[in-house]
């Protein structure tokens, strides 16, 4: 059985609240789980003690049993110092899209033309 440590959403519309659970990976996101390991409330301030609460002993137990944390939960565990920090690199994320790059090139070309036009009368 493939185990995951993941978030299960609760709360009403536009008011998210998550349980951190150990669940079989084949079960639905908000469906059956084996054990509740903690809570995560994204509406609270990032420095709040109540934002992420986890039972670290049980988390370590499930990880020893082979449970894999999801990306979001692994980031929380990294912040808590339970697992080593992974290097994440997405160099394409910061690159503007094609249309934005074309607009920048057009602006640069117009600026170069304007600079040439301003410099030409000064030479004569």
Summarised one tens digit per residue, pLDDT across range 30-81 is 888 899 999 999 999 988 889 999 999 999 999 999 999 999 999 999 988 8
Provide the whole-model pTM: 0.68
- pLDDT-based confidence at 123, cuts 50/70/90? low
Residue 120 has phi, psi (to 5 degrees) of -60, -50
- pLDDT-based confidence at 121, cuts 50/70/90? low
Q: Enter the tokens of residue 24.
A: 């079989």
Residue 21: pLDDT above 90? yes
The fold of 3-80 is S16 Ribosomal Protein; Chain: A; (3.30.1320)
Residue with tokens 């519309």: 13
Which of the 8 DSSP states describes residue 85?
Answer: P
**pLDDT score of 73:** 92
């Amino acid at each position: 059985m493939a185990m995951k440590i993941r978030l299960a959403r609760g709360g009403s519309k536009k008011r998210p609240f998550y349980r951190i659970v150990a669940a079989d990976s084949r079960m639905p996101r908000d469906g059956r789980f084996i054990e509740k390991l903690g809570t995560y409330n994204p509406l609270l301030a990032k420095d709040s003690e109540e934002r992420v609460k986890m039972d670290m002993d049980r988390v370590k137990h499930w990880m020893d049993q082979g449970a894999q944390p999801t990306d979001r939960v692994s980031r929380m565990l990294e912040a808590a110092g339970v697992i080593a920090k992974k290097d994440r690199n997405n160099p394409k994320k910061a690159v503007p899209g094609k249309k934005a790059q074309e607009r920048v090139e057009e602006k640069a070309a117009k600026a170069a033309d304007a600079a040439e036009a301003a410099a030409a009368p000064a030479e004569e």
